[in-house]
Amino acid sequence: MKKTPLKILESARVLFNTKGVNNVRLQDIAKQTGISPGNLSYHYSTKKDLISAVLVMLQEATKDMRATNMHSLETEDYLGVVKNYLRFQIGHRFFYRDILDIINLVPEGKEVYEQLMNQVISFSKNGLYLAVGKGLLKPEPEDDSFHFFAKNVWAILNSWLIEREVLGKEKVGMDEIMLAIWEYHYPYLTEKGRILYQKVKKQIPKMVKVEMAID
């Protein structure tokens, strides 16, 4: 992608995150980008066109996130997996928070949302099966148990993000969601898994302080 369109989309993402999709005008995005409204309309003539392009950029970002997380999963960096997803989630929080508004403007937003949800659930399930193979997690007790486990993880991640948006990041720290995800796994861990659990739990405060300074 050329430099100017990329700058426009990055500016839109930042403004959507801070102000909300419905509260941002094309003029605001042009000002944020440092270009004239006419220059912006040359690339994206309507807000719908711009949001559609932002969604394409979001989908590309999910590909990078999945590749990074797959490496983290294979190296047993489970905390890194959560960290990477939280970075993505916070960096694109407008999408989760304003999804109904987005769908009203750009109907294909529904497909993007469903695709992302299914990707996260599928990745989580694969991670569970991998953890079983490594002796960290007990085998799946019933068919589809891991599917619903993964779906609940998705729900936890989304509810945390909304809670953070409503109450503020000062009251809802990232260490809280990391602990919530990790604690949710605890009843299913083997003895080997619980040893890893204790190790990872001690790493969370430092990781949050050093690596999670993102807005």
DSSP assignment letter at 138? P
Residue 45 is classified by DSSP as: S
Give residue 171's pLDDT: 86
- Sign of the four-CA dihedral 132, 135, 137, 143: positive
What does the pLDDT look like over 116-168, one tens digit per residue? Answer: 999 999 999 999 999 999 999 999 999 999 999 999 999 999 898 889 889 98
- The string of pLDDT tens digits covering residues 28-44 is 999 999 999 999 999 99
Q: What is the pTM of this model?
A: 0.88
For residue 25 the two structure tokens come to 């005008």
Are residues 92 and 61 in contact, defined by beta-carbon separation less than 8 angstroms?
yes
Q: What is the pLDDT of residues 89-113, one digit of tens each?
A: 999 999 999 999 999 999 999 999 9
Q: Is 9 within 8 Å of 2 (Cβ atoms)?
A: no
* Mean of the per-residue pLDDT values of the chain: 91
Whether 33 and 7 have beta carbons less than 8 Å apart is answered as: yes
Residue at token pair 């403004």: 15
- Rounded distance between C-alpha atoms, residue 189 and residue 210, angstroms: 28
Q: pLDDT tens for residues 159-206?
A: 988 898 899 888 888 888 888 998 999 999 999 999 999 998 888 887
Q: What structural domains and CATH numbers belong to the chain?
A: 1-45 (1.10.10.60), 55-211 (1.10.357.10)
What gap in Å lies between CA 106 and CA 49, rounded to an integer?
9
pLDDT at 1: 62
